[in-house]
Structure 1
Amino acid sequence: MKTRLNCPCGEYITGTDEDELVANAQAHLSAEHPGREYDRDAILFMAS
Protein backbone atom coordinates (compact mmCIF):
# COMPACT_ATOMS: atom_id res chain seq x y z
CA MET A 1 0.00 0.00 0.00
CA LYS A 2 1.27 3.45 -0.94
CA THR A 3 0.91 6.16 1.70
CA ARG A 4 3.49 8.85 0.82
CA LEU A 5 4.01 11.32 -1.98
CA ASN A 6 6.60 14.04 -2.46
CA CYS A 7 5.19 16.88 -4.54
CA PRO A 8 7.76 18.58 -6.79
CA CYS A 9 7.02 21.83 -4.89
CA GLY A 10 8.57 20.26 -1.79
CA GLU A 11 5.37 19.39 0.06
CA TYR A 12 5.34 15.93 1.66
CA ILE A 13 1.84 14.41 1.47
CA THR A 14 0.79 11.37 3.49
CA GLY A 15 -2.29 9.31 4.20
CA THR A 16 -3.16 6.40 6.46
CA ASP A 17 -4.18 4.44 3.35
CA GLU A 18 -4.31 4.95 -0.41
CA ASP A 19 -7.78 6.52 -0.30
CA GLU A 20 -6.66 9.16 2.19
CA LEU A 21 -3.42 9.77 0.29
CA VAL A 22 -5.34 10.40 -2.93
CA ALA A 23 -7.77 12.75 -1.16
CA ASN A 24 -4.92 14.65 0.51
CA ALA A 25 -2.97 14.91 -2.75
CA GLN A 26 -6.02 16.19 -4.63
CA ALA A 27 -6.71 18.73 -1.86
CA HIS A 28 -3.07 19.89 -2.06
CA LEU A 29 -3.34 20.26 -5.83
CA SER A 30 -6.51 22.33 -5.52
CA ALA A 31 -5.04 24.61 -2.89
CA GLU A 32 -1.48 25.01 -4.14
CA HIS A 33 -1.56 24.18 -7.86
CA PRO A 34 -4.89 25.35 -9.35
CA GLY A 35 -5.48 23.88 -12.79
CA ARG A 36 -3.41 20.77 -12.12
CA GLU A 37 -5.49 17.67 -11.66
CA TYR A 38 -4.42 14.07 -11.42
CA ASP A 39 -6.64 11.04 -11.11
CA ARG A 40 -6.21 8.27 -8.55
CA ASP A 41 -4.05 6.12 -10.82
CA ALA A 42 -1.63 8.96 -11.59
CA ILE A 43 -1.29 9.89 -7.92
CA LEU A 44 -0.65 6.30 -6.87
CA PHE A 45 1.87 5.89 -9.71
CA MET A 46 3.90 8.80 -8.27
CA ALA A 47 3.49 7.67 -4.65
CA SER A 48 5.59 5.31 -2.58
Structure 2
Amino acid sequence: MKTRINCPCGEYITGETEDELVSKTKAHLSEKHPGHDYSRDEILFMAY
Protein backbone atom coordinates (compact mmCIF):
# COMPACT_ATOMS: atom_id res chain seq x y z
CA MET A 1 0.00 0.00 0.00
CA LYS A 2 1.32 3.45 -0.93
CA THR A 3 0.84 6.06 1.77
CA ARG A 4 3.35 8.85 1.00
CA ILE A 5 3.94 11.36 -1.75
CA ASN A 6 6.28 14.31 -2.19
CA CYS A 7 4.92 17.27 -4.11
CA PRO A 8 7.47 19.10 -6.28
CA CYS A 9 6.68 22.25 -4.23
CA GLY A 10 8.28 20.56 -1.21
CA GLU A 11 5.11 19.50 0.59
CA TYR A 12 5.26 15.98 2.06
CA ILE A 13 1.83 14.33 2.19
CA THR A 14 0.98 11.15 4.08
CA GLY A 15 -2.12 9.11 4.70
CA GLU A 16 -2.91 5.99 6.67
CA THR A 17 -4.56 4.44 3.61
CA GLU A 18 -4.34 5.00 -0.13
CA ASP A 19 -7.81 6.56 -0.05
CA GLU A 20 -6.71 9.06 2.59
CA LEU A 21 -3.51 9.84 0.67
CA VAL A 22 -5.46 10.52 -2.52
CA SER A 23 -7.95 12.71 -0.66
CA LYS A 24 -5.20 14.75 1.05
CA THR A 25 -3.25 15.07 -2.19
CA LYS A 26 -6.31 16.31 -4.09
CA ALA A 27 -7.00 18.83 -1.30
CA HIS A 28 -3.38 20.04 -1.47
CA LEU A 29 -3.58 20.40 -5.24
CA SER A 30 -6.80 22.40 -5.15
CA GLU A 31 -5.46 24.70 -2.40
CA LYS A 32 -1.87 25.22 -3.53
CA HIS A 33 -1.95 24.37 -7.24
CA PRO A 34 -5.31 25.36 -8.77
CA GLY A 35 -5.78 23.92 -12.22
CA HIS A 36 -3.62 20.88 -11.54
CA ASP A 37 -5.77 17.83 -11.01
CA TYR A 38 -4.62 14.24 -11.09
CA SER A 39 -6.60 11.03 -11.07
CA ARG A 40 -6.35 8.49 -8.28
CA ASP A 41 -4.20 6.27 -10.50
CA GLU A 42 -1.83 9.12 -11.34
CA ILE A 43 -1.43 10.05 -7.68
CA LEU A 44 -0.78 6.46 -6.64
CA PHE A 45 1.71 6.05 -9.51
CA MET A 46 3.78 8.90 -8.02
CA ALA A 47 3.32 7.76 -4.41
CA TYR A 48 5.42 5.30 -2.46
TM range (shorter): over 0.9
2:37 alignment partner in structure 1: 37
Displacement after TM superposition at 1:35 (Å):
0.2
Q: Which runs of 4+ in 1 moved over 4 A?
A: none
Q: Please, what TM-score do these two structures have when normalized by structure 1?
A: 0.99
Secondary structure in structure 1 of the residue aligned to 2:36: coil
2:23 counterpart of 1:23: yes
Extract unaligned runs of 5+ from structure 2: none
Aligned residues, how many? 48
**CA RMSD in angstroms, aligned pairs only:** 0.2
